[in-house]
Amino acid sequence: MDVFKQQYELVRSTRKFLLKFCGSIPREKLVKEIPEFNYSCMSMLLVHIANCYVFWIANFSLKKEAEYYKDEHPYSIDEISEMFIKADEYVYEFIDKFLITPDINVTGYNPWLKKVMPCSPLSIFSHVITHEFHHKGQMMTMSRLLGYTPPDTDLIRFE
């Protein structure tokens, strides 16, 4: 179980660099829709990442019925940071509850498939963190398209 907490701490440390970088970008740029990314924006991707934690960790696994964040609302970086503080709480509760025995299944309702489905805790945990990194990479490209040089946000940073 400690290895999952350690791994998530690495995820959180890279997110800290990302949020600090995003905080240095003017808000009008963070909410600027980028055609190359289907008119998404950096702010909307951060909210989408937070909502992934809400769905898979809080609602699907922990049965929380947590509210989703509206991704069309132009949140500030401070508001987005609060979303991730809540996501962290969900993740640590999830780790304590399910990753003691990661080979058991978590069963929840998948609205896209319109059915109840089983998932392993390890697959859920892996999904939410790889999902975050996937979109973080997109955000780094978006920032370049907006004229900014993104920081190194890999797990192993060469600073």
Q: For 55-102, how does the pLDDT look when each residue is reduced to its tens digit (9 = 90+)? A: 999 999 999 999 999 977 789 999 999 999 999 999 999 999 998 887
pLDDT exceeds 70 at position 1: no
Whole-number Å distance between alpha carbons of 21 and 130: 20
pLDDT exceeds 80 at position 4: yes
Q: What is the pLDDT of residue 73?
A: 74
* Long-range contacts (CB closer than 8 Å, 24 or more residues apart) made by 22-31: 22/46, 22/77, 22/80, 22/139, 23/77, 25/143, 25/146, 25/148, 27/74, 27/76, 29/146, 29/148, 30/74, 30/77, 31/74
pLDDT exceeds 80 at position 157: no
Radius of gyration of the chain (CA): 16
Q: What is the pLDDT of residue 43?
A: 95
Q: What is the pLDDT of residue 103?
A: 80
For residue range 143-155, list pLDDT tens digits in order: 999 999 998 888 7
Residue with tokens 């319109």: 114
Residue type, 29: K
Task: Sketch out the chain's domains with CATH numbers.
Answer: 2-145 (1.20.120.450)
Q: What is the pLDDT of residue 48?
A: 96
Q: What is the pLDDT of residue 104?
A: 87
Q: What is the pLDDT of residue 16?
A: 94
Q: How far is CA 110 from CA 64, 104, 118, in A?
A: 15, 18, 10
Once rounded to an integer, what is the mean pLDDT over residues 37-59? 96
Q: What is the pLDDT of residue 159?
A: 60
Question: What's the whole-model pTM score?
Answer: 0.93
Whole-number Å distance between alpha carbons of 20 and 25: 9
Once rounded to an integer, what is the mean pLDDT over residues 99-112? 88
